[in-house]
Chain A
């Protein structure tokens, strides 16, 4: 399956014509990661978003991190994301630092990297693409919140 075919199965591109998907695909590039590789790190500056073409990644946040206290912060996994899922989209929207660390948990995980600025430029120049993509990002963030709520209710997660 081609990268474009993988990406067309992501909600990010739902409702876009193949031509418009192609315009976004042309902005980015694919990177392959192995299990344990860090893709983004909490606190780092951000200028890209990502879509998982195949494989799986894990999102973790640090708890109890105190800059003056030695030792690694405690990491808490908050989600695993597989084929078709996007991450790094919060920074795309708000330009803030990375709110979580994302590591690959399966060898040969393929991730598509989309640069923020050129993506914004495309959305600014084509408002139809911009509207559809931003609606899709909002829907995805909503789905992740619902997932997290269910996880806390059924999985025994902390409230």
Chain B
């Protein structure tokens, strides 16, 4: 399964991203979106899966810049 993930960063309208992952994101994970590191706060199914793809929405919050 390929997980197509829509990341939205709370309070940061221009930091969201769309990325394909091999494994589903989990609450508490840290993810690097460009030069920003964010912590996953919520993961939900955005739309039903189709073929090899699952479609997820992740809400996260920034925790700092990547080094």
Chain A residues close to B by CB (< 8 Å): 9-11, 14-15, 56, 58, 76-85, 105-106, 139, 143-144, 146-147, 150-152, 154-158
Instruction: Evaluate contact between A58 and B13: CB separation under 8 angstroms.
Output: no
Instruction: Evaluate contact between A77 and B19: CB separation under 8 angstroms.
Output: no
Which residues of B have CB within 8 Å of A84?
A: 2, 4, 19-20
**Interface contact tally, CB-CB below 8 A:** 93
Which residues of A have CB within 8 Å of B46?
A: 143, 146
- Does B37 make an interface contact (CB < 8 A)? no
Which residues of A have CB within 8 Å of B27?
A: none
Instruction: Evaluate contact between A85 and B18: CB separation under 8 angstroms.
Output: yes
Counting from the closest, the 9 A-B pairs by CB-CB distance are: A84-B20, A157-B13, A82-B19, A80-B17, A77-B14, A147-B6, A155-B13, A105-B34, A151-B16
- Does B43 make an interface contact (CB < 8 A)? no
Instruction: Evaluate contact between B55 and A154: CB separation under 8 angstroms.
Output: no
Instruction: Evaluate contact between A80 and B34: CB separation under 8 angstroms.
Output: yes
B46, closest chain A residue (CB) = A146
CB distance from B29 to the nearest CB of A (A): 15
- What CA separation (Å) do A154 and B52 show in the bound complex? 28
A80 touches which one: B4, B15, B57, B59 (CB < 8 A)?
A: B15
Instruction: Evaluate contact between A156 and B15: CB separation under 8 angstroms.
Output: no
B52, closest chain A residue (CB) = A14
CB distance from A158 to the nearest CB of B (A): 7
- Does B9 make an interface contact (CB < 8 A)? yes
